[in-house]
Structure 1
């Protein structure tokens, strides 16, 4: 996916393997590092590796925020379990990561800002089909099969229904496979991150698939820093940049470049 056109001209350095570096000539704000290395796991469309460089919705947001702060930011991919382990280790190798939800345990060793990078919503997607009973709420899926990506943490309401035998869950390796099965009527619904689902439907050009409202769960995710003397100032600086980006419409423009118009709800 191309870099977004409203970013100011920069000297781009070719990314190698799982890294992408943005060179920023401006000086960083006083007290902030001139360079920052930040990690995430591959997760379409937030963090993707294409043709040897890293891009994605969250990547573009953080590139813009770092540029406003005068920080050269580099992105590296790391499997999620290893990333969490490195962040928790006192002598870990990771000082910055995204996008993480706030928990009391994580707040012991990570610096969270006050402004979220992205909200995360767990949502159901179904076919809009006049020949089938309408699905407008979770109870309408009684006796149905819900597709989920392998390893996806089930919301409590879904897990309880599985335990009670009210519906069943079918796991597949990728979100794309899930939505293709839904389009082919091999499953009755897909449980996914709301943005991931919307992006996947758009990329696959699937017709007649809609998101059920309301979402099953919602929580905010943040950029985080290993706690040290400078981490409070760094978190506060990104908070300021995120606020300005929301005020001037940058968040909306970046999101629209990946998702386009929101999906209609049934």
Structure 2
């Protein structure tokens, strides 16, 4: 028992120490709970994804009703690595663009789209391109003969075959607007090159890889590609903008980069083109 003048002081100290101990005891479980709480998990990716593109040999092809192709194989591999079941559907290019632009359109994923300010308003573009694209002119040049067309200006007054819905290089679009040449739209690259072989058009504008692949399949030997290409740009996998689209685009970016690094891109490309993609 504590007596005398020091008793109240010591008693007060004991009270303060008791309160501090109580507070500390309460704080320990609380801190333990905070430490045990997991960090906020990244946004979950969808289990299934439906992606659209037009037929664009050899990137997207129909083989007895089955969709296959260079870009199809690349995206299927990336989706598998992400644990996503991906389904591919084909849609004419103009309809596809219209559906993507609608606020309540039926398409949430598409490829391979070039980046434009207008499209960026309603589409989520990743940072890793799916494919680089070169647009070049193809002209007739029989073996042993001098080419009558060696550059774009040589096509003044002539007809250039273009695939419907193509993003035209500025030089082609400007010349058509000025009436320097005429553009003839066709639904497919195969039809375009067949018209060129039959002299129904004087040149064909096409993706370089697509053009070379199509010529090989059609066995057209008297058509050559003009160099350098008219333009070069990247194309991307895109998603309709919503709360989940940034995480989805970032996830595919990550896997596409890894596939370039581990040689998967080059391997898939060589299976279709016999050579790596333009970027390799």
User: TM-score, with normalisation over the residues of structure 2?
Assistant: 0.73
CA contact (8 A) 1:245 1:251 kept: yes
Between the aligned partners of 1:176 and 1:206, the Cα distance in structure 2 is 11
Between the aligned partners of 1:197 and 1:180, the Cα distance in structure 2 is 12
**Unpaired segments of 5 or more residues in structure 2?**
1-41
Between the aligned partners of 1:87 and 1:133, the Cα distance in structure 2 is 42
CA contact (8 A) 2:93 2:165 kept: no
**Unpaired segments of 5 or more residues in structure 1?**
1-28
Secondary structure (helix, strand or coil) at the match of 1:76 reads strand
Task: Tell me if 1:121 matches 2:157.
Answer: no
Q: Which of 174, 179, 191 matches 2:193?
A: 179
CA contact (8 A) 2:61 2:67 kept: yes
CA contact (8 A) 2:141 2:147 kept: no
Which residue is equivalent to 2:90? Answer: 77
Secondary structure (helix, strand or coil) at the match of 1:63 reads helix
Between the aligned partners of 2:254 and 2:207, the Cα distance in structure 1 is 27
Between the aligned partners of 1:203 and 1:190, the Cα distance in structure 2 is 16
Structure 2 counterparts to residues 72-221 of structure 1, below 5 A: 72-129=85-142, 130-133=144-147, 135-221=149-235
Structure exhibiting the larger radius of gyration computed from Cα positions: 2
Between the aligned partners of 2:126 and 2:165, the Cα distance in structure 1 is 28
Between the aligned partners of 1:93 and 1:146, the Cα distance in structure 2 is 33
Aligned length: 234
Structure having the higher helix fraction is 2
Secondary structure (helix, strand or coil) at the match of 1:215 reads coil
Q: Which of 29, 42, 50 matches 2:55?
A: 42
Alpha carbon RMSD of aligned pairs, Å?
2.6
Structure 2 counterparts to residues 19-30 of structure 1, below 5 A: none
How far the C-alpha of 1:86 sits from its partner, in A, is: 3.1
Structure-2 change in CA distance of 1:128 and 1:249 (3 Å): farther
Task: Tell me if 1:59 matches 2:78.
Answer: no
